[in-house]
Structure formats: structure tokens, C-alpha cells
Structure 1
Amino acid sequence: MTLPTRTVPVLAALLAGVLLTGCGGPEPIAGATPGPRPTPSSTPSGASAVARVGADGSACPLPVSFGIAAGWKPRAVEAPEDPDLAELLRQGPAEMVCEIDAKPAGNIGFLRVWTVRGGNPASAIEGFVKAGEQPYGIALRETTAGTGAGSVLAAEVLYTVLDELTQESKKERAFAVTAPGGTVIVHLGGFDTAEHQAMLPAYELARTSLRTAP
């Protein structure tokens, strides 16, 4: 499936086409091809869940829960009292609340969970992407998170950023869903594009196993 490429200035117009709630049901994202609906057999090989994160008592209590792959280590992220340091944990309207480290599993990167108070997945992911490191080549699609009767409509973005440290381009992606209290964004970065690709099974595991009730 070929995903449409857009530049940042038109992201708002595209995302505005997503209505993730409402009596009339979800409307498709304007200009985007719907992604495949996940099924229990669609999770990439090598990404079986060994634990869930998000429920009370887990490393990161969250408004959602999802499976994590072997070796990945979650930790809750709490905002420091210093406002300058706290700002480092924000990206646009989103605040980082959980970081799941891939290094123990042999990769360099993280799955990071961000929350947005109020709003909806469309506006949340728009603000999140636009506040990142020089995003471009944005491809937007409509997909779902979870499986079966518990699945929910999600907005997903695939894009490229210019790393300010290395001055090299790398792929990133994120999906957003409505959750109690607002919106949850699950983001996958990585040291470089090769690391990003290697960690995709863990990202897809999070998406396909997500539940909005932890």
C-alpha cells in the first residue's frame, strides 16, 4: 500500500478529516488510504507479548494498556519540579509519561507513551508531529488499535526527521487513540532508520494488543 506524502503545512487539513467519535461513526481521513485492520495473526513474528504495561501495578500506570516484547524495559516518567527540565518531557500538546527501553532487547531506541489532556487523536498527533525535529515526508493513514470487539479507530503518522545531533535523516512513526481523560500517543523513534525498522515488531505489538481499559 502506498501512503500519500504530505508536508507539514497541510497536515492539519488532512487530520481534520478524522472523526474518531460521534454517533455517525468514524469518517475516513481525507486523502489517505485506510490501513489494514489488525487481526490476532497480523502481529509480526518475534514480537510475542511477555508482559503488559499500563494497568495499575505495572511499571507505567496509563489510560491504556498494551503488550511489550521480550527484553523491553518500561519505566514511568515523572515531570521534575524544575520547569526547564519539565519542558524537555513535552512535545507540542503532549507530555511523556512512560518510556520503554529497547536496549536490553538489543536495539537502540524507545517506545514512548505521551498523553494529551482533552482533544482527540487527530489534533493531538498533529500538534505532536509539528513540534518535533524538522518533520517532513509525512504520510498519514487511518488504522485501528487493538483487535476484535475491543479495537478502536486510530490516527497514525509515518514521517522523517532531521536529527539535530548527527544531521542525518531517520524514520519515525506514532499512533494516537482516544482514552479516558484525553488522548494517548505511542511513538517509536530509534537511533537511526535501521534501528527503527528493527523495532517495528514491538511497535506493531503495542498497536495490535492495545486496550483502552487497562
Structure 2
Amino acid sequence: MGRPRHAVVPAALLAAGLLLTGCGTQQEPLRVSEPNAPRPTESAEPAGAAARGSLGGPGTACPLPVSFGLAADWKPKAVRVGDDELSAALGRQGPATMVCEIDAKPAGNIGYLRVWTADGSAARPALEGFVKAEENASEVVYKETRAGALSAVEVTYTVHNELMDESKEERAFAVSTPKGTVIVHLGGLDTEEHREMLPAYELARSSLKAL
């Protein structure tokens, strides 16, 4: 795991669990926000994790418009966003609503792979709206990519965590399907956790199929 864990998980992360109930070739960036801001430390992309199941199809924990490989020990659950203000604040971001949360803690990391859907939106504007709604986001870079056999848009950015007084890396990709746009987002407690969880994210992206 690297360094010892001394950080305390922010209370907002614990509250989310109470309020959201379970039911190819790299191209040049298309747009960069804050071009004069320092870029995050670059690191080699890790090899994808081996799949230990799949998510999204019939009979899985989260019925989705897509399916993708699930990394070993990651635990998924469906999410239903409530109508109250606080629940909506945690479960809606820009045009997207959270529909599935995949917990990395059983695999030894602190963080989640979350799936969001947006109705009636193309992938690029939906993803842009998702990121614009993220407080304290900066160093935003979009690129065209592939998710399995589908065209996709991916974004990398940093978010300043005021509770921990540090910035951390985040990323997401979006694909369009006949049932709307799907956004798969990877955060993490901090940048180290985020990078350790990248193989599970890359597995989801490389194995994604439309249903």
C-alpha cells in the first residue's frame, strides 16, 4: 500500500453512505482549463486489473446501459438518490445522477468507482457539465479515447480538498448509449489512493460494452 495510513476519512464521505441508499492511441488534449497552472506529477499508466466478474448486465448489482469488468474484491451496490436537498447534493452533479457505487475498501484502498447517468446528453457536454459542477476543480484536460469498442471522452483534473488542505487527482470517462450518457468516475481519498486504484478504472474502460 505504500505509506502508513494516518488520515481520517472526512465526515462528508461517511454521510454519503447514509444518504445514498443501495437498492488506442493517445491524442493531444482538446481543452485545458487554467493553462498556466502546474500539471500533476505524471506517472506511467498501470496495467489493467484482471476481471473477477462483470457489472451492469442483468442479475448484477447495478443494472446499467453498459457492462464492464469488475476488479477482484471491489464491492458494487446500486444507488438511489433521495429527494431531500442533502441527498441530492451528494448524488447529483451537473446533468448526472449517481446510479452505482463500487467500494474499493475490501480490496485495500479508500475510494470508489462511481457510475453516473445523464439523460439526453452527448458524452462530451455531459462530461463537461459534470466537471464544471465539481467544486474546486482545476487543471482540467479532456481527450478523445476509446472505452472498449465505443468512442469515449476522458477527463483528468485535480480537486482541492479543503478538509485535508491538499489537492488530489481525479478522472472520469463518458460514453453515449441509446439510453443516455454513462460517466464512470474515479476519485479517492488522496492522489496516492487514486493512482493505486487506476487498474480497476482501466479495467472498466477497456472492457466496457453497450447493452
Q: Could you tell me which residue of structure 2 aligns to residue 135 of structure 1?
A: 137
The question of 1:44 aligning with 2:70 is answered no
**Shift in Å, 1:207:** 0.2
TM-score, with normalisation over the residues of structure 2?
A: 0.78
TM-score, with normalisation over the residues of structure 1?
A: 0.77
Query: How do residues 2-17 of structure 1 correspond to structure 2 at under 5 angstroms?
Result: 4=29, 6-7=32-33
Q: Given residue 174 of structure 1, which amino acid in structure 2 is its aligned partner? A: A
**Shift in Å, 1:8:** 6.5
Deviation per CA, 1:163-199: give whole Å up to 9, x if none: 1321210000000001232100000000000000000
**1-side partners of 2:160 and 2:86: how far apart?**
24
Q: Given residue 97 of structure 2, which amino acid in structure 1 is its aligned partner? A: E
**Shift in Å, 1:43:** 8.1
Q: Choose the corresponding residue for 1:88, options 69, 90, 94.
A: 90
Gaps of 5+ in 1: 10-41
**Shift in Å, 1:3:** 5.4
Q: Could you tell me which residue of structure 2 aligns to residue 98 of structure 1?
A: 100
The question of 1:55 aligning with 2:53 is answered no
**1-side partners of 2:51 and 2:60: how far apart?**
14
Q: Given residue 7 of structure 1, which amino acid in structure 2 is its aligned partner? A: S
Check the 8 A contact 1:133/1:163 in 2, yes or no. Answer: no
Q: Given residue 152 of structure 2, which amino acid in structure 1 is its aligned partner? A: A
**What is the Cα-based RMSD across aligned positions, in Å?**
2.0
- Percent identity for Structure 1 against Structure 2: 59
Q: Give the count of matched residue pairs.
A: 176
Q: Relative to structure 1, is the Cα distance of residues 65 and 8 closer, same or farther in structure 2, using a 3 angstrom cutoff?
A: farther
Gaps of 5+ in 2: 1-25, 36-44
Task: Give the 3-state SS of the residue equivalent to 1:207 in structure 2.
Answer: helix
Task: Give the 3-state SS of the residue equivalent to 1:161 in structure 2.
Answer: strand
**Shift in Å, 1:139:** 1.5
Bigger share in strand: 2
Q: Could you tell me which residue of structure 2 aligns to residue 167 of structure 1?
A: 165
Check the 8 A contact 1:75/1:99 in 2, yes or no. Answer: yes
